[in-house]
Structure 1
Amino acid sequence: TIFYIIISLTIFDFLFGLWTNYLNSTTRSSEIPSELEGIYDEEKYAKQQEYGKVNSRFSYLTSSFSFVLIMLMLLLFGFAYIDTYVRQITEHFILMPLLFFAILGIASDILNTPFDIYDTFVIEQKFGFNTTTLKTYIFDKVKGWLLGALIGGGLLALIIWFYTQTGTYFWLWAWAAVTFFMVFMNMFYSSLIVPLFNKQTALEDGELRDAIQSFSDKAGFKLDNVFVIDGSKRSTKANAYFSGLGKKKRIVLYDTLIKDLSTEEIVAVLAHEIGHYKKKHTQYGLVIGILQTGLTLFLLGLFIGNPELSKALGVEEVSFHIGLIAFGILYSPISMILGLGQTIFSRKNEYQADAFAAKFGLAD
């Protein structure tokens, strides 16, 4: 029964994704909406819409490929095969699941790399966005694998250790560990992880820095750090973001943003980011994420030891890693509902941040 539920949910998730993608595609048009006439360049708008269409069609291909892979793994009991192979190497209660997920992760990444390369070096290149060199791409891949093994593997090992040591209430210990990790990364991501991939430099004194400082004083925002990141080494797209908590907060501007926009426009973008801080969106988002993680781990604690989960994937012996795979698929409807809630919350926050910037005469 659980096997058929897993198969049904996998098919539903795929078809629902196709349907929502189709609904989005029906709203695209190369003709500029009346609301944007005189504001958005018509030629650029048509190009943006074409970019959306190309990416939408490409997502049909990538999602279909992923769907076929997961269905083959389920119908041919591929997870059971990998489990048997791993058990021949080690039966250590931590090393076994780590090796299991390492094989899955590396195999999945290798199989999806051709799609990623096409997306980066063909689609992004065609529309003038890509500036990534092959060397940068390869180094990003290697660093991503190492970080995944170190951080992801370390956190997973700790959770498995809690599971074997505390039994039923392992989810509480796991929740505490994951919460600490989430808060830590929220505070130090920009200073610890980002430098591994990008160079960040403090914004130099000058007209832009003075304008940003002037707005910050007007908005009642204590400006600690403004950094410029070399986003141009991978893409011509412009961006800015706010990260950190308390004294560790910082605003990061992409060098492409500084190149493409005027000082007043950059201040407006910055005002939007400060609006997120003043409205406490980062803090609320963190709290919601922690609560959702607690719910997920609580449900995981209820089901992870159920032998039927492992049997549904063709494995007779109860194991944490097989149970986690089965639980992840069964949890997908709840995840989808929570995801919709997060999207609504996120959209509300974006409108509030825009309104905050507009309040200071930056609406145009």
Structure 2
Amino acid sequence: MNTLLLIILIIIVLEFLLELILDLLNLKARKQPIPTILSDVYPPDRYKQQQSYKVETTHFSLFQNSISTLAIALVLYFGLLGTLHGWLAEFNFGDIVTTLIFFAIVGFVGWITSLPFSVWGTFVIEEKYGFNKTTKRLFVVDSIKSLLISFIIGGGILAIVTWVYHLTQEWFWIIALGIMLVFSLLANALYSRVIVPLFNKQQPLQEGELLNAIKDFGQRIGFPVGKVFVIDGSKRSTKANAYFTGFGSNRRVVLYDTLIEKMSTEEIVAVLAHEVGHYRKHHIWINFGLGAVQSAIILYLFGWLAQSSALSIALGFESANEPVFHLSLLAFGLLFSPIETILGVFTNRLSRTMEYQADAFAAKHNQGKGLISGLKQLSAENLSNLTPHPMYVLVNYSHPTLLQRINRINGE
């Protein structure tokens, strides 16, 4: 066995074991008593349902991760990716077309194999606990749309990046970084206007108490709220959400209809005050800058390591006399994943700090009481875990726990 392949397989196994340990710790932590300040989140029957939901979703996730880890390990061990490239190379499509077809096949196989898990998760688990509102027809349409969007947008970016790589490996990482950053900005600006309408209807929030309260709050803090839209999230799930999107004068507020149905005006305004806090603290641009630095490091390392054919050989193309872009890209991603996990711990910690800052902004503008009530309401509606294990939070949580947020808002 190739030494580099052995390292990749060890990494895959270790990552699986890490996820397993964290999930088991988190399951064990659910038996802790509920803190007094959170005693009003769930009625007894609802809390039993939350506990059952947590156990079932965790077991399902562990089963899915076990299957996918085994499948990936077998594909790598038997060199099937290298075999696929060798077969495609016989057609002499050219570098860019070969890369696109290679990833299209890999992506489609991954989509097909994950489909049964998506079906079970949606129509069995989510249905059992009253979350699912998706019809079978809508599920099929959504799946096909998502697949096509991935092929169109992902394929377009991949084609450009592949072309740049073969054009100039020396400057590849800089040009590729520029492409990714431009796409990231466009995606943020156009997501709600281009992608969301393919899946959901968005309608302006009607005149009334809620719209007036939102605009009044914006005027009081000198943050004029432009367009406020309501999205029909209830046609897929009962879970609630709200978000800001876009930049500057193009920003808009998007509220899920489920949020409006389940929360009071005071709670919704407080949740939006939290989101305004992210804007006022420039968190979007901080995250963008940090993401750019991280992407630059990753692309530079990839550009350096991809000059060797060792990565291509590790994935089963043993006759590689020169590096194969798409094989090198996959091998690098697998090798880099432990570093990505470590970086994720730090980025999650930073994200949790930003959440505290956004909460503090809302509290500073007299929205602390409404925010606490709203956070409790969201936790109850989404069957959120009230007692997660600290290690699980450290690695996986981008937001502080409900208890931590309430204590911080209360100045404790």
TM-score normalized by the length of structure 2:
0.86
Consecutive unaligned residues of structure 1, counting only runs of 5 or more, are none
Counterparts in 2 of 1:1-364, with a 5 A limit?
1-29=3-31, 32-315=34-317, 316-317=319-320, 318-364=323-369
- 1:94 match: secondary structure: helix
User: What is the letter of the counterpart of residue 347 of structure 2?
Assistant: Q
- Using the alignment, how far apart are the partners of 1:236 and 1:102 within structure 2? 33
Q: What secondary structure, in the 3-state scheme, does the structure 2 residue paired with 1:242 have? A: strand
1:119-139 deviation per Cα after TM superposition (whole angstroms, max 9, x unaligned): 000000000000001111111
Give, as a single letter, the amino acid of the residue that structure 2 aligns with 1:165.
L
- In the alignment, structure 2 segments of 5+ residues that lack a partner are 370-412
Between the two proteins, the alignment pairs up a number of residues equal to 364
| Cα distance in 2 between the residues matched to 1:218 and 1:54 | 45
Report the Cα distance in structure 1 between the residues aligned to 2:348 and 2:201, rounded to whole angstroms.
Answer: 31
CA distance 1:43–1:351, change in 2 (3 Å): farther
CA positional deviation for 1:361: 2.3
Please identify, of 316-325 and 350-359, the stretch whose mean Cα deviation from structure 2 is larger: 350-359
SS in structure 2 opposite 1:12?
Answer: helix
| Structure number with higher relative contact order (C-alpha < 8 Å, ≥ 6 residues apart) | 2
SS in 2 for 1:148: helix
- AA partner of residue 363 (structure 2): A
Displacement, 1:90?
A: 3.8
Distance 2:281 2:153 in 1: 31
Deviation at 1:45, TM superposition (A): 3.1
Distance 1:30 1:93 in 2: 56
Provide the secondary structure at the position in 2 that maps to 1:193. helix
Would you say the 8 A contact 2:204–2:229 is kept in 1?
yes
Matched with 2:375 is none
- What does the per-residue CA deviation read over 1:197-249, in whole Å, with 9 as the maximum and x for residues that have no partner? 11111111111100111111122212112111100010000111112111221
**Identity across matched positions, percent:** 44
Q: CA deviation at 1:331?
A: 0.6
Q: Distance in 2 between matches of 1:40 and 1:357?
A: 24
Equivalent pair of 1:241/1:253 in contact (CA under 8 Å): yes
CA distance, structure 1, for counterparts of residue 244 and residue 294 of structure 2: 22
Q: Counterparts of 1:358 and 1:42 in 2: how far apart (Å)?
A: 30
Using the alignment, how far apart are the partners of 1:310 and 1:17 within structure 2? Answer: 28
Give the secondary structure class of the aligned counterpart of 1:232: helix
Q: CA deviation at 1:187?
A: 1.3
What SS class does the counterpart of residue 57 from structure 1 fall into?
Answer: helix
Contact 1:132 1:233 in 2 (8 A): yes
* 1:276 Cα deviation from its structure 2 partner: 1.3
Looking at structure 2, the residues matched to 29 and 361 of structure 1 have their Cα atoms a distance apart, in angstroms, of 35
Indicate conservation of the 8 Å contact 2:177/2:296, yes or no. yes
Between the aligned partners of 1:311 and 1:158, the Cα distance in structure 2 is 25
What amino acid sits opposite 1:226 in the alignment? V
1:28, 1:164 → 2: CA distance?
52
- Could you tell me how far 1:40 is from its partner in structure 2? 4.2
1:31 deviates by: 5.0
Q: Distance in 1 between matches of 2:43 and 2:273?
A: 24
**SS of corresponding position for 1:167:** coil
Confirm or deny: 8 A CA contact 1:30 1:50 kept in the other structure: no
